[in-house]
Structure 1
């Protein structure tokens, strides 16, 4: 058996596709995540693919240092792909728990890796959220590894702090900052908090998406290329067809499920004079990441088609039939909701989100104890 690669968050939308890539290449993969029915279903699917690699499912909680230490010591991986996290907006409901998972859990995993005789390459899934609110009128340039980080929300701050732990660890490492990951899986995550985040975001906010299959390939390739990626901060987004505005991305997704486009009146614009009045998304400079990892294989049209083809035919038929009636009703409801919330002419997302979910959603600028 070959020296394994450990993947945390192995059964999420990026994790399971990263694991599948590595198994197809003959690697032994220790696939770690929480034990849930969804995780067990993914394990069965991966096992049924009969790849040349070896799948070793492992169920461990980042909040359990003994379990993580034992997992790493037992398998002694040559690379760790750390995808596990409590993502936003779910994290906004419990920012203290999110920090324990996202920052404390990363510290636990790093310490376990530092204890190995041959410390592994540590590949970390970060986020464009570390850059904070991005006003495209004042900052039209693309985000890069050299752009200063200034998170506006709890999740972006968690990612910034976790990055700092990794950089200061002495481990060989690569930090991959993700844009907006898109897959058919996202339809199942559309709860009220996601809907709040969507309608809070300015319609003209820049959004750089990436197909989940391409994001997974980036992590799999990084794990195999330690000499190329060591010490790098790489921005992971799709090709230039993935450079869109938030409203257009939402409408393309609504079109994919059959409902049809809501149009620009469904959202408020961002304030060109307010640097804080924007979401934490922007367009990324992916030149270096693509050169090193060769992962951009699906255009935005391919991604939209993938989402559309994954919808049950009955859903698309019903949505298509209801669309002409539903769209004006939804537009009217959104307008009335904005009036009830006393929103002005601009989106002002963080005022709305913090009012709905509490001040804990915002970055606290409190640095936890160093690693």
Structure 2
């Protein structure tokens, strides 16, 4: 007969998710809801946040509990953690490029300061939660595939050259120094069937400035959510995971726009891209292919191929996408006018020169 006192009770404490109403956060809440796991959804409390969480509450038997909090407010964060006593914190809240370039002060408050607030609050409760930080492949800095032919690994030295990568690396250091049971998940290019593929001048400029032949490791947002939840529930973990899709997601930057516009039934509307300079390692962006074998072995998260993801994009938009077909010439003209290299001389992409002009980003160190 088993001694009941020696059998650990199941941990029914919730998993707290920051950035819960963002792209990945929403997917994480869906994953938790589908598994019947209690969740606390940390968000600012905007009207759209309340509407989203209400819809999730109607969909799943275990509704996420809202926690309206400003993560840049140390006292508010401490009160939130003390109230909900989570078993794990999945920290997704972030200001990403190009918004991070346009508002560097706000980006630092969310990307770095809020991480410190959460870590301090987690250390202050009697049962410290497991901590999962959403980091990024951008911590590795510019990746010239001509001089760095191998994919990055967890042992590849980080060397960020932009503000966002530097923020993430600083947040990683804080997590390592926290003394908490923690893991860092460096995530590749997240794509969603329900992504916002509308017109945003900064996003179009950002995507257009990148070398078209730059390597990027994409991943379906549902698989990212699965990785975070599985990491939160594992009794033992690696300190760093690399989160990208299966081998079909090892693509080039130019492939993303081409595939998405084809899925939206507006093929051929993406303007030509410029290649990266093979002789200038600093002239590339902080994306690359990743060795995800170990992460997949432990977390078992890769379920959606790139082609399946594009089919999901088409299915999500549905029949209205066919109404866009007559507009292909006009969309192509508009996109060509929006390209950052329309009136710029040269052959190769100049991402950092363009970022400096548009968002006052510092040029990378070429020493």
Q: Note whether the superposition's TM-score is higher than 0.5.
A: yes
Residues 1:118 and 2:127 aligned together: yes
The equivalent of 1:289 in structure 2 is: 295
SS in 2 for 1:97: helix
The equivalent of 1:40 in structure 2 is: 50
C-alpha contact 1:156 1:363 (8 A) present in aligned 2: no
1:184-199 equivalences in 2 (<5 Å): 184-188=193-197, 190-199=199-208
Alignment partners' CA distance in 2, 1:221 and 1:24: 13
The equivalent of 2:360 in structure 1 is: 358
Q: How far is 1:73 from its partner?
A: 0.7
Q: How far is 1:239 from its partner?
A: 0.3
Q: Paired residues, what number?
A: 355
Pick one of 71, 81, 100 that aligns with 1:72: 81
> Greater shift after overlay, 75-84 or 325-334?
325-334
Instruction: Note the residue ranges of structure 2 that are not aligned, 5 or more in a row.
Output: 1-10
Q: How far is 1:178 from its partner?
A: 0.5
Provide the alpha-carbon RMSD of the alignment. 1.9
Residues 1:256 and 2:252 aligned together: no
Alignment partners' CA distance in 2, 1:332 and 1:131: 31
Instruction: Note the residue ranges of structure 1 that are not aligned, 5 or more in a row.
Output: 365-371
- Length-normalised TM-score, structure 1: 0.91
Pick one of 336, 341, 349 that aligns with 1:338: 341
1:111-260 equivalences in 2 (<5 Å): 111-188=120-197, 190-227=199-236, 229=237, 231-260=238-267
The equivalent of 1:368 in structure 2 is: none
C-alpha contact 1:151 1:363 (8 A) present in aligned 2: no
Q: How far is 1:332 from its partner?
A: 5.2
C-alpha contact 1:110 1:169 (8 A) present in aligned 2: yes
Residues 1:320 and 2:339 aligned together: no
C-alpha contact 2:13 2:38 (8 A) present in aligned 1: yes
The equivalent of 1:367 in structure 2 is: none
The equivalent of 1:304 in structure 2 is: 310
1:266-277 equivalences in 2 (<5 Å): 266-277=272-283
The equivalent of 2:8 in structure 1 is: none
The equivalent of 2:18 in structure 1 is: 8
CA shift in 2, pair 1:327/1:189, >3 Å: closer
Residues 1:25 and 2:35 aligned together: yes
Alignment partners' CA distance in 2, 1:143 and 1:199: 24
CA shift in 2, pair 1:331/1:27, >3 Å: closer
Give the ranges of 4+ consecutive aligned residues of structure 1 lying more than 4 Å apart after TM superposition. Answer: none
Deviations 1:143-201 (A, max 9, x none): 11101111111111110000000001111101000000001343256411111111100
- Length-normalised TM-score, structure 2: 0.92
C-alpha contact 2:204 2:338 (8 A) present in aligned 1: no
CA shift in 2, pair 1:187/1:55, >3 Å: closer
Alignment partners' CA distance in 1, 2:60 and 2:335: 48
Alignment partners' CA distance in 2, 1:62 and 1:291: 33
Q: How far is 1:307 from its partner?
A: 1.2
Q: How far is 1:284 from its partner?
A: 0.8
Deviations 1:307-366 (A, max 9, x none): 11111523x12322222x24663575367x6252x3310002111111111136x679xx
1:48-59 equivalences in 2 (<5 Å): 48-51=58-61, 53-59=62-68
Residues 1:98 and 2:101 aligned together: no
The equivalent of 1:369 in structure 2 is: none
SS in 2 for 1:259: coil
CA shift in 2, pair 1:107/1:332, >3 Å: closer
Alignment partners' CA distance in 1, 2:192 and 2:84: 31
